[in-house]
Amino acid sequence: MSAKIFELWLCPPIRWIAFLLVGASALLAQQADDAAAPPRDPTKLPAGVLGKYESAITSLNSPAGVAIDQRGRIYVAETGGRRIRVFDSNGRPIREFGTETDPPLLNPTGVAVADNGHVFVSDTGNNRVVEFSPKGVFVRSRGRRGCADGEFINPGGIALSGKWLYVADTGNNRVQRLDLGGPNAQIIGRFGQEPGSFNSPLDVCVDAQGSLYVADYDNQRIQKFDSAGQFITTWGDWGAAEALLAGPRGVEYHDGLIYVADSHNHRIQAFDTSGKFRYAWGEHVIRPYEGEGKIHYPDQVAVAPSGEFAVVCESWENRCQVFGRVAAGEKPKLTQWWEVGQAMHYGPLADVAGHVMVMTETEGHRIMVFDVSREEPILIGQFGGYGTKPTRFIRPADVKLDPDSMRLYIADAGNRRLQIFRLAFDPGGVVKFRPGLAKFVKSIDLVRLGQNDPQLRDGPVIEPIALERDDRGNTYLISANHPFVLVFDPKFNFMGSLGSGADEGHPLQRPADLCFEPSSGQMYVVDAQSGWVAVFDRERKFTFAWGGLGTGEGKFTKPVGITRGSDGTIYVVDAGADRVQAFDGRGKFQMQWGSTGLGASQFFKPVGVVQDERKRLIIVDYGNHRGMYFKADGKFISAFGPRLFVRPTRSSGRPQPTAD
Amino acid sequence: MLESNIQTRLLLAAALVFWTGCQNRETGSWQAAPRPSQASIPQPAVPQFDLGGLSNDGTFYVCYQTKPDPPPLNEPFDVDVFVCNAAKTQLLADVGLTADADMPAHGHGMNTLPKVQALPNGGFSVEGMLFHMSGHWEIYFDISRNGITERAQFDVHLD
């Protein structure tokens, strides 16, 4: 410090000002950590509606749930990160918690903040709700896996209202109203399509009068109940036009409006409390991973109590975006997906038999059939579309093609059924598009099947997300709501399970995919939550497992796809780590490839893997809207799909023809 | 005594018809139409229609008759449908039925929603079919029993 400045420092008025400044900054720093004093002035509320992009909180790990407290602090349920993260209203991190509890949070998807600052979390993977102090210290928890009152299966969004905590009990297809001061739990709704029933309710909110609103995901609607849980009204239907919904995942109440995270329409819609459409915002993504106001598969939306801003979380893009209010009289930006062109998602899972590859396509709720006898796959048929009638799909999740009979088995998670088609494919015929390629044979109603079986009757409704068949014609089903694999005989009588409670030692928690090894009769099951590959013998007994959570060789972050190569190699796709790993049949690590990105040998949330008769591996690179060919040794061959997502691989991979 | 017995039977039959009608009104156009239990219905003879065939998985034999025959272009028509076992020896009363039609080459179906009514004679009446274009149509009869729905389908070429 120079002498002159030192003299100034000794000057009493300046010293006092300095002390005041230092004290004030220290106080502010303390508040930033403890209270995060909001820089916004809630008394200066703009008159316009919400929807003006302001900022983003990035580098999150699948944030699915969000809440905002009275001081504007943002609480994010970071599902993939398995914790709660707290930010100030400008996105600066304040604290995180949930990893130190016993057990630690496991894939939390819902969060709500009480007036006293206590934080409630739906601990989805542990099937419970947890209360934390304002500092993030564990206070208490409630619930366990089950179907009884006060028990949960995959609880989703939560909401507080007075002494009640509402929980979207997604896997049980109901809402529970828990008394925060006692053991009471009220059940609202059950599985079904009629008013008052649910098909995968994902989120809840409560208005100022105590009425409950539920995002009824697979029924494509919002349902309203009174404070006693009596059904009042419903609105919405599947579609993309104004006021229609496509996969409503989140619902939020603020100041007379219900905000809906309209996931597959990539927008937020606002309705009044009677369901009348008011406005919407959301610009569709054009470039991959684009943000800055572009919304891509929003999970939940939260509005600050001041009404000044909203936060939209997109677990798909690993971020949350903050939206303020537009100027009075202005409309927020809104584009429809068809205005920028549809870029279908391949997958999640696929199958190959002979020259034919079959792929689900979730955006169009349809099935695509390719001839893969050439260098590039050629689309030769497609069928389906949204709906509940036979041949229609709500959420086609997996396909299995029998090479002998050319029977195609399709698991439809939204319709809770299997549909069986026969493909009229002539391997020696001309390769061309055939409108009548798939002939519907029959469907199996898994709701009815579960109700008729005494072993399944008391459990949750089957929600099929993956399937496999063995060489005896038995069908193996993975249900999103069951921690084991369901096995049915050729006539679809329930035979038993892989990994049930009686079969000790197995690591199954949330199985995601499976593949059959015909010579040994072994079934390999990959588990997305525990990170293990579990192997069962023909008698459905657990034999061994490998893997576990981690990022090293042989470890997994979120393994979701598995297949067996023609030489017995087991390939596992890890959506959490954007890579593929190969093992021998005993689980010995062989090799790996992949990283995050759009280039060759790069992935973004890959979900499926199959091998064709030319021994090429086809990876369903779901997040990049494309399929990718690799040699069995992991060398990149080519990619196919919407050109926007394929072009980068062609510039970074092997030389490709320019015409795509 | 005999008269009383006949009256009871008539009342039961009337109740049965009324119940059947209620069921159909409730189920609407696209829901499987359940019928009363097989035991309460006398087994009628298997009808001898010209049109018919096995369902796509071979479980059922379906015979049907369009009214008028052949179906007209761009005019509503009805269909009588009977569902039998695969051997055509027994009319099945414990099944539900829905009806639909598509033009597979065009990728669309009908513009109408036909109504299906279960009849006391063991058959089904489908009302409100309409082929609004000439060309190749496929008629679908989806037969439901114990949670499994199996399709029988038939080609119609309309000039």
| Closest to A250 (Cα-Cα) out of A306, A327, A302, A173 | A302
d(CA A460, CA A452): 13
Strands, E assignment, A124-240:
128-132, 138-142, 155-161, 164-169, 174-179, 185-188, 201-206, 212-216, 221-225, 231-235
A455 to chain B nearest CA, in Å? 17
Closest to B147 (Cβ–Cβ): which among A422, A441, A449? A449
In the prediction, which pLDDT does B44 show? 64
Using the predicted structure, report yes or no on whether residue B21 has a pLDDT greater than 80: no
Interface test with A, best of B26, B31, B56, B155 (most A CBs within 10 A): B56
Neighbours of A538 (CB within 10 A): 14
Per-residue pLDDT band at B159 (split at 50, 70, 90): confident
Interface test with B, best of A440, A444, A446, A451 (most B CBs within 10 A): A440
**Which residues between 382 and 401 in chain A have a beta carbon less than 8 angstroms from any beta carbon of chain B?**
389-390
Higher-pLDDT residue of A34, A112:
A112
**Mean pLDDT, range A161-184, rounded to an integer:** 96
Closest to A441 (Cβ–Cβ): which among B57, B104, B146? B57
A425 to chain B nearest CA, in Å? 16
pLDDT in tens, A237-267: 999 999 999 999 999 999 999 999 999 999 9
d(CA B54, CA B84): 9
d(CA A450, CA A444): 11
In the prediction, which pLDDT does A284 show? 83
Instruction: Give yes or no for a contact between A112 and A105, defined as CB atoms under 8 angstroms apart.
Output: no
Half-sphere exposure of A437 (CA within 13 A, CB side): 24
In the prediction, which pLDDT does A342 show? 59
**For the residues of A618-648, what is the DSSP string, one character each?**
EEEEGGGTEEEEE-TTS-EEEEESSHHHHHH
pLDDT in tens, A285-318: 877 788 899 999 999 999 999 999 999 999 999 9
Using the predicted structure, report yes or no on whether residue A479 has a pLDDT greater than 70: yes
Note whether B147 contacts A452, CB cutoff 8 Å. yes
Which residues does chain A have within 8 Å of residue B56's beta carbon, measured at their own beta carbons?
422, 439-442
The span from the first CA to the last CA of chain A, in angstroms, equals 67
Per-residue pLDDT band at A652 (split at 50, 70, 90): low
Q: What does the mean pLDDT of chain A come to? A: 90
Note whether A442 contacts B56, CB cutoff 8 Å. yes
Q: What is the ipTM of this complex?
A: 0.83
Note whether A435 contacts B107, CB cutoff 8 Å. yes
B107 to chain A nearest CA, in Å? 7
| Closest to A478 (Cα-Cα) out of A523, A502, A517, A511 | A511
Closest to B151 (Cβ–Cβ): which among A435, A440, A492? A440
Which residues does chain A have within 8 Å of residue B105's beta carbon, measured at their own beta carbons?
435-436
pLDDT in tens, A191-215: 999 999 999 999 999 999 999 999 9
Residue of chain B with shortest Cα separation from A434 = B105
Closest to A442 (Cβ–Cβ): which among B30, B140, B149? B149
**Mean pLDDT, range A518-545, rounded to an integer:** 96
Closest to B104 (Cβ–Cβ): which among A390, A435, A442? A435
Evaluate if pTM is beyond 0.80.
yes
pLDDT in tens, A494-513: 999 999 866 678 899 999 99
Q: Is any Cβ of chain A less than 8 angstroms from the Cβ of B30?
A: yes
pLDDT in tens, A78-126: 999 999 999 999 999 999 999 999 999 999 999 999 999 999 999 999 9
Residue of chain A with shortest Cα separation from B57 = A441
**Mean pLDDT, range A529-555, rounded to an integer:** 96
Give the least confident one: A269-278, A625-634, A645-654, B134-143: A645-654
- Percentage of chain B with pLDDT > 70? 72
